[in-house]
Structure 1
């Protein structure tokens, strides 16, 4: 990928300032907890259901329920709820998330989940992958991120039903995060764009893999949690509707 190392080249001479800004931001930003209730459930259409689906969410803090009150307000359950309403369906959902997780966390987490199950994991109609912020802030190399995503998608595609899809959530534009100062936000924004371009390319090269660009309005305080870093329940709800729309459009085209 052309210019994939540009963020690192720009960050190198600014490192002392960026490191100080990073430490200061962590010190003054409220630390919101993960959700503590059950990370799985069922959403049922208000009308008599005519379909059954399964949704798996894997990712960092939004999947783990950071910024909202519980897992029912987090992205996996909200996506399941949106699909239940649009498809008149019963939708089972499972969230596998961790605050601070990087993409490399996903495959070991899936292996650990398998060990806790009395039977094999089910196949899924929708698998949401929501990573990128922590890989951005840790300056994960483009090469490592691409290799890890390739391996993860290879595994996840064996866990889909024939008409199912993996949705790669767009990496947020960190240059507009309210909690981040300049120039840290601009440098992280460039790094986020590099990683999200890898998401785009990977989705374009694979069947059953979709990419949804990040569309939330981070400047709208109603869509952000109190820390200025995570989406609020409203922000998650809007995101879930966009994810459901992306799935339905591509499902109908098949």
Structure 2
């Protein structure tokens, strides 16, 4: 079935294009935070962690990496592990970009990979089929070349709640984000070790960065806590 937003997209196209241009022109462009992008923390059993993806994985919205997703997640996991962590993320990256980036890294083993992708696939009009194919290729690369045991894939954010996006643009992008997220959920039933975690951050403006588009440190803390909990459950089961 064709969804309502897909039916209405054509008559709404002039408005959507105009809104997109205004958003791009007025958008507050926050930098990626300063700080190390790899390190070692804690004591206990070794845990080798790779975080990859787009600007949210890179920590845009935080002032430094200690307040961003990677830093907060590594700190949380270091309470019970010796964590070797590495961040490979860039603003604007789609799944295809991350696939190319990871393929250029020297082969080394990781226990867990965290992926945060999808928003730029939505705004870049990547089809559902292409998105799923590239995610599957990325999962295969992580497992075959980097010996990743568990891939935790953060769901595509609910873009209809982004404060920076006006209606109906937010609604149209949000519906497409939901479709891509459903593809990720389906892949989790098809690929061993591929775990889909719905992006369930509160849709409260207090969790948004000043650009109205990215998480802030409070949201990164919430997100890191959720990921750490899932990682610990996986290793307890192992």
Q: TM-score, length-normalised on structure 1?
A: 0.88
Which residue number corresponds to residue 126 of structure 1? 112
Alignment of 1:50-199 (within 5 A): 50-85=44-79, 88-114=80-106, 121-158=107-144, 159-160=146-147, 164-199=149-184
CA displacement at 1:7 relative to structure 2 = 4.5
CA RMSD, 1 decimal = 1.6
Q: Distance in 1 between matches of 2:111 and 2:105?
A: 18
Note the residue ranges of structure 2 that are not aligned, 5 or more in a row.
none
2:236 is the counterpart of 1:236: no
Aligned residues: 237
Deviation of the 1:172 alpha carbon: 0.5
Instruction: Give the match for residue 205 of structure 1.
Output: 190
Give the deviation of 1:64 after TM superposition: 1.7
Distance in 2 (CA, whole Å) between partners of 1:149 and 1:143 is: 10
Aligned to 2:26: 28
Question: Which whole-Å deviations, capped at 9, do the CAs of 1:148-188 have from their partners, x for residues lacking one?
Answer: 11111111112235xx3100101011111111100001101
Shift of 1:10: 3.1
Residue 10 in structure 1 maps to residue 2 in structure 2? no
Hey, what's the Cα distance between the residues in 2 that align with 1:90 and 1:253?
19
Following superposition, the deviation at residue 71 of structure 1 comes to: 2.1
C-alpha contact 1:178 1:219 (8 A) present in aligned 2: no
What displacement does 1:122 show?
A: 2.2
Aligned to 1:248: 232
For residues 22 and 63 of structure 1, what CA distance do their matches in structure 2 show? 23
Deviations 1:10-43 (A, max 9, x none): 3222111111111111222211011243211122
State the distance in 2 between where 1:26 and 1:218 align.
Answer: 22
Distance 2:34 2:199 in 1: 26
Residues 186 and 132 (structure 1 numbering): CA distance in 2 closer, same or farther, change over 3 Å?
Answer: same
